[in-house]
Every structure is written in structure tokens, then in C-alpha cells.
Structure 1
Amino acid sequence: MRNNKLFICISSLFLSFTAFASDAVAAGADPEAQQTLFMKMIRAITFTSDGNIPDFFIFLGRHHPLILHLPVGLLAVIAFLEIFSWWRKVEIYDEAMYILCWIAAVTSVGAAGLGILLALPGGYNPELLSRHGWLGLAVAVAAILALYLKHHYRKDKIMAKRHRFRGAIFIACVLMGFAGHDGGSLTHGTEYLFEYAPDPLRQMTGRSKKTVKEKETKIKKLPYFEAKVLPIFEKHCVSCHGEEKMKGKLKLNNILGIMRRYDKIIAPGHAMDSELYALLVTEDTEEIMPPEGNSILTKEEKAIIHDWIDGGASFSDIELKPMAKPAPTEVKMEKVEVNSETVKAIVDLSKLSVEQRFVHEKILPFFEAKCTKCHGEKKDKGDLRLHTIEMIKASFEEEVIIPGNPEDSWLYDSLITDDEDSLMPPPKEKNPVTKEEIAMIKEWIKNGAKGLE
């Protein structure tokens, strides 16, 4: 009787947990809430709610791919043996099965724990990470439940208890399948598995048919970057620096993603001084990109990136045009202090449109006065910088500025919010924006945030 009550309690806990996970995943109307829910939970239980992740946690988390294959294989073997036992009506190595259940339960909990540590720094698709996390925890709970049921079946050999054990094992395997698929999507991208699948299978999974690319009658010349450089990034880099995963807060899957970190990783005209290229040719095995074990670049591919950076790292030139090297001249060097006023003087406002002049005369000075202390060249809090035209344009991708829609733009919302923790500039800076400045930003965004050409 006591065992039956305990079984009911554990089953109720398992069902409640999976229902909770299901609700968290199904709340598709608010993806941010899913991320907040899962990340808030794991940071609370690891005491890292302040965002400071100890290096040791990250070190442990990277062992997640190493251990997760143990419960995957063990649960599959246990399920297979149970099917064979049911089919042949025989008892197969009961003690060995019990030991396998113990190992499967322990390694499932270990894999879930290391997965939590791996997820702490972020950099993954929030919705996919949330679903994978809940499913991984559900697998661990199902494995523990199966161990409990196996333990009690061994005592009295009641078939009803064995059927419950079998049910728990098969539920664990089903959950494991979905969790494994999401884990693969986090690592390789959501289309990795079905990219080359037959059309009927793609349609069964809710995907469209593969598009047949028709040959263009007229050959269109692409810029050198899109024709030569971007395909190299897509082949070797975007699995870690793309839409699904963004290691080091770097995205190399499109121009806007690169622009966000452009002046930190690229020195136009100087390939060897550019972190982007230097990490491709370094002899340091700890720093080299891509990391050991991944697809490495050929000499030709490295040469293409080298020549592109040496040629000015332009995104629009059709042909590679190496930057002209100035002839050496003897000049008397004088110390010149360059400040924002000096930079402004370089821009010839008379040659700009009305919208461009407005940006240079009003918007840029506003950002410089109110924002660039935390979101500028020296500091990029929240991975946001607003000190140049290019950086402001790059912010469109993250919905910091949504042209034509100030109410949904994070920039405008942060200026008028009543939440002191979200208000920008922070109250502690004692540099509040005026009503006129708020009205100016709102009107500029409402009119399309023009003038950044």
C-alpha cells in the first residue's frame, strides 16, 4: 500500500512536471517569456542570477555532449531488451537490467545538470533552448521513475508493475528523441536534419518543398564579399556564429551581424592586424578558428579573406580593389587631440540631405551625450553601440530601433518607461533626457529613422 502511494506521488510529480514544461513551450505567443522562465529558473538554482557565470561552471558545462550519449544509449538498450522480453515471453538478465537502469538514471541527471551549466552563458536560440532544457529535465525525471518502478518489480514480480516500468522507459525514450532533435538543432541549426530530405517527408514535418533554382538568363555580378567571402563564413563559421548560436556575441551569417563587431575584429587594409583573419592563421591551438575537430579553411579560402580585408573589407565592391599604400614622406609630427568636435568638422554637411543633416546635427549628438558612455566605442553594454552611423543601422536587426514604429522600439521605450531598472540613461548617471529630446527621438523613428544612408 505504501509503495502504491509512493508510486502515485512520483507519477503525479512527473505528469505535473511534463505538463509545466509543455505549457512553457506551447506559449508561442511570447517567446521572450519562455526564455525568461527557463533562464530565470536555471540561474536561480545555480545562484548566477546576477549574470556572473564562474569559469568553472562553463568548463563543466562543456562536458554535456560527452556524457549525454550514455543515457541515450542505455535507455535505448533497456527499451530494446524489454521489447525482446515481451515478444519472447522470457526474463532477460534481471540484475543486469537493474544495474543499467541505475546507470541510465544517474547519467540522465548528470547530462541534465551539465546541460544547465552549458546554457547559462546564453548565445543560443531562446525558444529552442527553452524547449530542449525542459525536455532534458523530463527525460531525467522519467529515468528516475523507471528505476523506482524496476526496483519494486524485482521484489514481488507483479506484472502490473513491470508494465508500468515499461511505460516509463518508453516515455523516457520518446522524450529523449525530441530532446535529442532539439539539441542537434541548437548545434547545427534547425534545418540541418531536413535540409536534403525528400519533399514528402518535408511536407509531413510542416516544411515547404525544396525550391529548384532556375538558371538566370542574365548573369548578375555579386559584390566580392557576397560572392567569395560570405560563402566561406557560411561553410565554416555560422554553426557557432550564426542565427541559432552566437558565440562571443559574433554573427557572421549576414552583413548586419558582422557590422555589429566590425571595428573590433576587422582593421580595413591590414589583414594581419584583424582578429578575424589572425585567428584563422594562428599557431595557438587554443585560439585557432575554427576550433580543432571542425572543418578547417583551405589556403585558398584564407587567401580570399586576407585579400578582402587588405582591399578595405568593403561589402559593396564588385571587384577586389587593394587599398592604395601612401608613399612615405618626411613630415613633422605634431600631437593633435582628436575629439568629437574634430570628427564633426570632417563631415561636409552642405553635401548631405535634410534627413542626413538632422542625424548629424541632432541624433548623433544626443546619443553622444546620453548613450555612448555605456553604448559606445569603449563599452558596448548589452552588445549595443550607438557611436557611429553603421552601429545605429545595425541596431535595426535587434529591434532597438524599428523604423516607423517608436512604441515597439526598445530605444524609445527605454526613455519613457516607469521601471527605474530599465530606464535609460540610468537614474544614477544623473543625466536625464528632456521632454524635447524624447519627442525628437519619437518623431525621428516615426518618420522612418531616415538619414543613416
Structure 2
Amino acid sequence: MTILTESFWLWQFLGRLHPLIVHFPVSILCVALLLELIGWRRKSSELRAGITALLWIGAIGSVVAAVFGLILVNQEEYGGSTVTIHQWSGLSTMVLAILTVAAFRLGRLTVYRSLLFLTVFGVTIAGHYGAMLTHGDDYLTSVLPFGKDSKAPSTTDPNLAFISNTGQPLNDKQIEDLNLEVRSILAHNCYSCHSATKTKGELRLDKKELLFKGGENGVILKAGHPEDSDMIRRVKLPAGHDDAMPTKGKRLTDKEIAVLEFWIKQGAPWPSGAEKSIYRVAALEPRLPAVPAATGDLINPIDRFVNVYFQKNKVAWKTVVDDRTYLRRVYLDVIGLLPTPEKIEAFTADTRPNKREILVTELLNRNEDYAQHWLTFWNDALRNDYSGTGYITKGRFDITKWLYNSLKTNKPYNQFVRELISPTEESAGFIKGIKWRGTINSSQSTEMQAAQNVSQVLLGLNLKCASCHDSFISDWKLADSYAFANVFSDTTLEIHRCDKPTGKMAGTGILFKELGTINGKAPTAERLRELANFMVQPKDGRLYRTLVNRIWAQLMGRGLVEPVDMMDNEPWSQDLLDWLASDFATNGYDIKRLMSQILTSKSYQLPSISVKDPALLTAPTFVFEGMVRRRLSAEQFADAVSLAFNPVYGDSSLATKLLPETIKQEIPFPRASLVKNDPFLTALGRPNRETVSTSRTSQANLLQALELTNGAKFNEALKQGALIWKTKYPSSDLIVKELYRKALGRNPQPKELAVAEKIVGKTPSIEGIQDLVWAISLHPEFQLIN
């Protein structure tokens, strides 16, 4: 949940009171539960007055803490899954605290005690994740015997495995890798205070001679002697100590400190030429590697590249999935719908050897279904929606009609990009950005939004940091971002650093100078035409690698490069990425053809793999073995329930009143991709689309569980559907069998049938049918794409 607040000092001050205020309701509610347990055990009401006061104070305190927390998250640079879980668990706790007071006042003693226990449990969860935000992910586990990190230098990066062997001299490549790791640690943790932009204590750590020179307090490292180096002493000091470094943000991990100690012990090597960049920069130009030789049934070029990768990583090919699994997988990936029972039976009975290739072609030719499904992905990426910030005030424009027709006609991707950057009236909403109401940061101006969004979506490049100051995560500078933003601006922009004007006017230029030179004196429309033509050139290999990687990630659950917005990261197969991008450009920029290549490959047909920790997907040690098992998206889930049981969105006017007439005539039931966002879709993962969103988490969460359990939209759809099914199918046996066929594509097993009939009742009841549908819709077999 995000609310927009201006950067007024009072908001910042109130937000920063959140950690102070939040401890008050935590302790109060815990004491209330303790007193309640004591009273219950004694069978006495003498503590009731005190408990009542504590409940009211705790509930009010939780509301204040939640409000301050919402202010804080909008004033500080918090992000990631930890803050999301902390935020929603805190809000859930607030609601539970209020419900606890209500149940207490109504005299519902059993309900009250249960809610009080849940409230304290919620407080514990919220507090744990809050501690992780302020003290690190290992705040609790690090003090346990099995949770302590080894002080010995260690790393998960295979390129740095040598640091555990201190007895051998390092070769040139090892020195280069070690230096890259050290400078990355310094860049991410120290450059904000000790670089060319800001030189606190006269100390700079971004250049060799300046690092060894030290600062106003003298030399900070002694080569060969980490124990005598002030740098190491300071990073090891406890938080709050006057000399502790870094002074802001998270402290260095034990592993990072160990790497620095190892580096100093090796003499603090700094190879010549290392000043150029500490970050990997992917090649811009296209590359067409030779396709490896076919072997056996590995004929698809994708499989031939993957075979080389498997041999290198000692991965054995597994048997491809059965027809039912493949059919459901490809249906959901191409058109976002479940296959009908009749289609499943026909496909499994089909004996043609190329039936899977035929199926892919059939589905890709279902243009309306394809467009309605992939509209979700592109709406997220192009931050297009049907309601939200800016639509009422005309500070934002949708591109729905243009986008839908582009997908339906399979518009070549180079033309698709050209029309986004040098837009028609229908496609202009993407680069126009959102005109926020009130005072905004200069890095959120519409021109800067255009620069950020174009670079992120089309080039897999993050300019957000470099829109405020020189980036700490890449080589992009503030001047680069402003020059690119100037391409989209009707006036020459003044460069602002951290929202403060510098007095310097920005130039005008494309991010990658190799692609061409923008005429800064030309009218805006002409500059946009130049930019569009430069970017879609075949020699812009990055544009097409980024698109290929996004499609691969959508179909496989993990990109060749991860995260998909960081295309400078190393792919798990550079040859496969380069070949797919070059082949895509050579063959008409045809997205459906690209999808067909992937969907008919043996690599796509391998059994899915599960990942216990999502962080493993972005780890440098990731090894591709097949499609990553993933949860249905919010829209896929809603459509699956609609198709198998009863439409979730029964009011077709809601889905179509803002959309083109052609769409209205094509939908058999309102597809979730076409409806306005609501609490149901939000809980299941649809973003608000006020910013670019190029991937969604596939992990279940507390908000999703609460919505599927108590949400009005979902439960109303189940209730209405139960009424229809009770009339249509008179017996429990028929209801259970038909529901299993429609939802899971199979008949129930004997044990499943017995349990399901018991839930529905001998004579089908509305509540029983509703409970069964709810249970099946939460079943992993329904919720996951295997």
C-alpha cells in the first residue's frame, strides 16, 4: 500500500517516529494477553478493568503506528518483499486489534480470546520483519549456534572460491575478480559519503591513489595487515558507535568484511585499468553464434544450445511432461485459460507425432484470446490501466485500444517500439508519464519518467538512481539521465542533484551514443522520431535481447538474465540469448514466432522445478534445469474460476465500458485482464501500474490468504455459482465429477470423491458446493502452472 505524500519535514519527522511508536502497542497487547491468560487460569475477573484499558490503548496505538509506518515507507527508500510483508502484517495486526476490542465489547468471550491471540501473533510476525529491516535478515538467527556466519572468507560466487585457500598466490584473473568484489562492496556501502559526489572526512574510496592516501584522520588501510587497518576496525564497530562505518543504512555482512580482510591481507591489490568500471556492461551490438550440431531428438536450435549448457553443467535431460501437463501449461501461457475437458480428451487421444506443434499454432492463432491474456503483461510493463492516479485529472492517458490491437494483429516488435517512442495519439500515454498532483521530486517529472520507463522496459536498464545523483549501482551518471530525458522534453531541463538545482542545463542525447546523435535543436516530435529510428535499428542488439529475455521469463518462470530489468547481468547462456535475439530480428521481429520456438522446444517441455527460496532464482549459482513452477497470476486465477465454475466478474459493463467496441464483442465472459483493479486482484498480485512493473512475485502471502478466505468478490462469485450448479446438477456425484473435470482436467480419485461428496452433502447444499469449489481453487494442482 502506498500513499503519496509531499516531502515536507513534518511528514518525514512523523514517519521516523514509527519505530518508536510501534513498540508501544506491541508491549501493551502482549501484556493484555498475559493478563488474560492469568485471569482465565484463575477463573477470576479482577484483572478485567486493566485488560480493558490495555486493549483500547493497544488498538489505538496500533492505528497510530500503522499510519506513521505508511508515511515512513513513502518518505524513505524502502523496498522488497521484507518491507511488503512487514507492512501488510502490521496492517493486519491493526485490523485484528480493532476486531479484538469489538468482540470484547460485545461479550463474545471465545471470539475475543482467539482474536487477542491472533493479534499478538500478528504483532510478533510484524515485529520480526521490522527487525529484519533495521538490523538485517539474520537478526535473530545470527545469534543461534546454527545461524552464525563463519568468520572465514567465503562467498557464493564461484569466481571467488579461491579466497578460502589462503596458501596459494593469486593469479591475474583471481586478483581482478577479487578487486571487482571489493570495489562493489565499497560502491554499494561507501560511495554515498566517500566519492567524487560527496567526500566526507576528505576520504575518497573510488580511486586507487585516493583510497591509499586516506582522509583527514590519516591512512585507513595497511597493506598486508587487516588487523592494523582502520577501515576494518570501523566496519566491525557496533552500530551507534561514533567511529562505526557505514554511518547510514545496513552494516556490512560478516562475509563482506571477510572479503575486505582477505583483500588487504593479499596486499590490497588494485589491477591497472580497474578504474574504468567495476560493473559488467553487456555488449550493445548483435551477435549470431553458430548453432550447435543436432543430436538425437534435439533438433530445435534452443535445445541444441541447452544441450551444450547441460553438458557443461552435468545436467541430464529428463523425460518430457505428459500430454495433460503440457496442454494445461501451454494453454495458460499462450491464452491464459484452462483447456476444456473435451479438449483434454481429444488431445490425449490424438496419435499424431507433431500434435504439440499443431496445438501451439492453434493457440497462437486465437488472436483475441491471446491479446486478452498478454494484455496483462504489457499493461504491467507499460503501466497502462483503466483507472488510477491521473485518469480523472487528465494527467495520464491510457493506451488500451492501441495496445490491444497491436497484440491482436501481432504487430512486429520494431514497429511496436517505434509507435511507443514516436507515438500516435492512441499510443502516447506511455511516454507522457503521470502528471502528479502537488509538489514532486525533479526525478519524477514526466520527462524523467519517460527516460526511466523507456530505458527500463525496452533496454533492461535502471536509470532511477541516476535520475537523482550519479548511480551507485552502475556507471550511469546524472548527466546521462537528464540528456536522455531532454529528448522527451519541450524545454531544456536544468540538472537537479538530489532535487537541488545545479545551475547546469542538460544536453540532449541517446543513452548509447553508438546508435546515433539526437538533434537537440529539433522540435520534440522530430527528436522522438530520431530516437525511435535509432533504437529499433538491427544493430541495437540490447533492445531485442531485452524482449527475448522477457518472453523467456514469462514462459519459463526465470529469464536467461535475472533480474529482467538488469540486462548487464550475465546470462546463464550468452550464446542462447544472443542467438534468439539475432534470429528474432532476422525473422521479422515476430513475437508469436519467438514464442512458438520456445513452446515447441524440449527445454520448455521438461518437468517443472520448484525453488524453496526465491532468492536462488537471481543467485549467480543458478543452474537451468527446466521451467520454474509458478503460481497462476491474479488474472489467470480469476479466469480459471470463471471458466471452471462461475464468472468472477459477472457485470460485463465493468469490463468493457472503457474499452473498444471490438473487444466488447469478443469476450465470452469478462476476462480479468480487462477489468478495473480491485481488492481481489490487488491481493492476488496485480500492481497499481503507476510505475513500471516487469515481473510479479509467485509467492503466496498473508494478504492473498485473507482475500481468498474472506474477500467479498471471490466469495460472492462462489455463492452465485453454487446456486447455479445446484440447479444444473441434481446429485453430489455429478457436481463433484464435473467440477474436477473442469477445474483440474481429470476425474476425482475414489478417496477424493468420497471426501468431496461429504463436503457437498448427500443432498447438495449451497454452502457445501461453495466449500468444495473454495477447497479445489486453493489446491496446488489448480493454483500452480506445472
Which bracket does the TM-score occupy, shorter chain normalised? 0.3 to 0.5
Higher helix share: 1
TM-score for the superposition, normalised by structure 1: 0.46
TM-score for the superposition, normalised by structure 2: 0.28
